[in-house]
Structure 1
Amino acid sequence: MSDNDLSPISTREARRLFAGLKSAPALVLAVSGGPDSVALMWLAARWRRSLARGPGLTVVTIDHGLRREAAREAREVKRLAAELGLPHRTLRWRGAKPKTGLPAAAREARYRLLAQAARAAGASHVLTAHTRDDQAETLLMRLLRGSGLAGLSAMAPHSERDGIVLARPLLEVPKAQLIATLKRAGIGFADDPTNRDTAFTRPRLRALLPLLAAEGGDARTLVRLAARLARANAAVELLADGAERFLRLRDRGDAPQVGLRSFEALAFAGLPEEVRLRLLLRAINALGHEGPAELGKVEALLAALDQAITTSPRAAAKGRAILKQTLAGALISLAGGRIQIAPAPARRRKGG
């Protein structure tokens, strides 16, 4: 960790972090009360005050109803927001909580509520306080799960969800620098004990980071790797776009039928494997009703298609279907020399 990682963020640096958001109509700040999100709120408020004209800021705290301290922490965020002249809302995740997969369910609920708050405030963006440390942990989590190139790109600085842009302006900033910024400003913050609860994957990986850093795998190095993988992923996406256009030209430029994706089998088989995989993923996720499709299952489907095309080229050219499979609510078939993806028939309910 360098000395810069321990120095407070200057006004000039804060302006650089938020510069791309100056023309937004309004912004929602996701603030839980922890050091990262409190620093986001304080830095955004200081940046907004430096502008003659700029977006309105609304602070939103999500109370998941999982910890008794959450209500008190939300009230403290409201107090800090008022001191900064910012409106604040607390939204609660109501209803039964799942017994398994709780972190993922809580994350899904959080983003859904934040998107609702953004629409209510007329905001185009929701700002979250993900840091360089979070990015490194995300890369490790996805690496251990065997994610593909897109997953190993980790979190993007900007992404879209429910028509709202999720912006992560602190993604290159180390957590230590945010804490130093708050200490310099004399601003307190909450300590969430679940961040150290080794019952969850992320805290366990967080505890490993010092050991990885001793071997040269510090957060800065891991984040640089994620950025390089994101760059490669963007290039492959462009190749997949070009491949879709190529396959349409093979079909004499015909526009794809609504509710159906169709590829000439032999032309499809001649494309690079990663491109073929992405074309299948796109089609299945667009037309299936049980998605998103699991990467491993799409890889298995692609292998089956490749084998069918290679070993039965004559049969593939005739009308007889030589492969038919459902995946993630999509029906994939190989017949008449074409691969077709369409919505699968709805499953029958048991006892129906």
Structure 2
Amino acid sequence: MTPADPSASRDGPLARALAPVLDGAGGPILLAVSGGPDSTALMHAAAARGPAGGLFVATVDHGLRADSAAEARAVGARAGTLGLPHAVLTWDAPRRGSRVQAEARAARYRLLALHARGIGAGLVLTAHTRDDQAETVLLRLIAGSGPGGLAGMRPERPLAEGVRLARPFLALPKADLVAYCAAHTLPFATDPSNADERFARARLRRLLPLLESEGLGAVRLARLATRAARDEAALSARAAAVLINLRRHGPEGWCLDGRRLAREPEAVVLRVLDAALDAVAESPAPKRLERLERLVLDAVLPALGEGRALRRTLRGVLVSVGPSGTVRLAPAPPRRDD
């Protein structure tokens, strides 16, 4: 009888999670690999099953640490042993203090999307785990997010035109990926910023064991994300249908039948106005749920109910309510310098 492969039990969860993503890709796939245990496991497990369309690897070097270039080269060497093409994507941009991690994250996705399009890949895979999801949900809870934010990271979402981002390991604990690396003796890098308490995620990692002892662990936080995503999808679908039925394109923007809109639940009205603001705005603007709530719940809906006129500006869009109940949205005029 042939002895069982001791790594087989570690391979199973990763292989099962990857199978539908790899099998359904229909073309080249770009793996985002930083060199940490999670992405190292992703690269190795994907290479073991690689799709017919081919696998490519990219490492984003943000240049935030002295060792980052060497770590990127090490990923390239490991990718080479697996027969996978590797590219280093460098972020060259000014750094701004407290915003550096958020800016680095945005740059990472932007660079990955550009590289994916350059190699003809319609899918980018990252190795985010259930632990990452739990941290994301906690961060958004602290920030006062609504259901859309508490839904956390989606298993799949658009990344750029013609490119999607997928997270096949989002339901797996990080321990599974670390165990996979140990079973296959895969070397990996450790990012010291993960323990740097100047950053919110690092502080949350210190608190998570305390929350776990009270019953609020990664499993429950991930379950909250799943439930919030389910509810958000239903509300967003209803809002999209309402917006199609109520909107009219005017010479300077959009018009909505406010009286019909006001008959919808507040959660739907918020999403309708949110989508309309996005469509009319001439450039993207930061979103804050509290500001949207003040506009819709404290201003627009009361004005519609009382039949009075209203003018407010949010995200560079002028929102006006007329006595007839029409809600108009148009790009706000530029501010005059005094």
TM norm structure 1: 0.88
- Give, in whole Å, the separation in 2 of the partners of 1:204 and 1:276: 36
Equivalents in 1 of 2:74, 2:149: separation in Å? 35
Aligned length: 327
Deviates more, 1:286-295 or 1:102-111: 286-295
Aligned pair 1:214/2:201, yes or no?
Answer: no
Q: 1:167 corresponds to which residue? A: 166
Contact 1:24 1:55 in 2 (8 A): yes
The one-letter amino acid of 1:77's match is: V
CA shift, 1:259, in A, is: 5.7
2:330 is matched with which residue? 342
Deviation at 1:298, TM superposition (A): 1.1
* Matched residue type, 2:112: L
Q: Determine which of 292, 298, 305 is the counterpart of 1:310.
A: 305
How far off its partner does 1:294 sit?
2.0
Match of 1:251 in 2: none
Q: 1:268 to 1:104 in 2, by over 3 A?
A: same
Mapping 1:202-281, distance limit 5 Å: 202-247=201-246, 256-257=249-250, 260-281=253-274
Task: Give the fraction of aligned pairs with identical amino acids, expressed as a percent.
Answer: 45
Q: Give the secondary structure class of the aligned counterpart of 2:179.
A: helix
Equivalence for 1:3? none
Q: Secondary structure at the match of 1:342?
A: strand
SS state at 2:97 partner: coil
Distance 1:12 1:209 in 2: 24
User: Deviations 1:258-315 (Å, cap 9, x if unpaired)?
Assistant: 762212222111110010000110011111135243221111011211222223x2xx
Q: Could you tell me which amino acid in structure 1 is paired with residue 233 of structure 2? A: A
Partner secondary structure for residue 58 of structure 1:
strand
1:189 aligns with 2:182: no
- For 1:7 and 1:173, locate their aligned partners in 2 and report how far apart those are by CA, in whole Å: 16
Matches of 2:220 and 2:94, distance apart in 1: 40
Which one-letter code corresponds to 2:295 in the other structure? L
User: Structure 1 residue 257: deviation in Å?
Assistant: 4.2
Moved more, 283-292 or 208-217: 283-292
The residue type paired with residue 275 of structure 2 is R
Given that 2:14 and 2:45 are in contact with CA atoms closer than 8 Å, whether structure 1 keeps it comes out as no
The code of the aligned residue for 1:275 comes to V
Whether the 8 Å CA contact 2:29–2:121 is kept in 1: the answer is: yes
The runs of at least 4 consecutive aligned structure 1 residues that moved more than 6 Å come to: none
State the partner residue of 1:20. 21
Q: Does the aligned pair in 2 maintain the 1:259–1:342 contact within 8 Å? A: yes
Aligned equivalent of 1:33:
35
2:159 and 2:244 map into 1 onto residues whose CA distance is 26
Following the alignment from structure 1 to structure 2, what is the Cα–Cα distance between the partners of residues 259 and 128? 41
Aligned partner letter, 1:148: G
For residue 101 of structure 1, give the secondary structure of its aligned residue in structure 2. helix
Q: Distance between the aligned counterparts of 2:14 and 2:288, measured in 1?
A: 40
Unaligned runs of 5+ in 2: 1-6
Normalised by the length of structure 2, the TM-score is 0.92
Change (3 A) 1:98 1:109: same
CA contact (8 A) 1:292 1:328 kept: yes
* Distance (whole Å) between structure 2 residues aligned to residue 273 and residue 12 of structure 1: 41
Instruction: Output the amino acid matched with 1:323.
Output: L
Tell me which amino acid in the other structure corresponds to 1:307.
P
Could you tell me which amino acid in structure 2 is paired with residue 291 of structure 1? Answer: A
Distance 2:180 2:116 in 1: 27
Does the residue aligned with 1:345 lie in a helix, a strand or coil?
Answer: coil
CA RMSD between the two structures: 1.9
What is residue 298 of structure 1 aligned with on the other side? 292
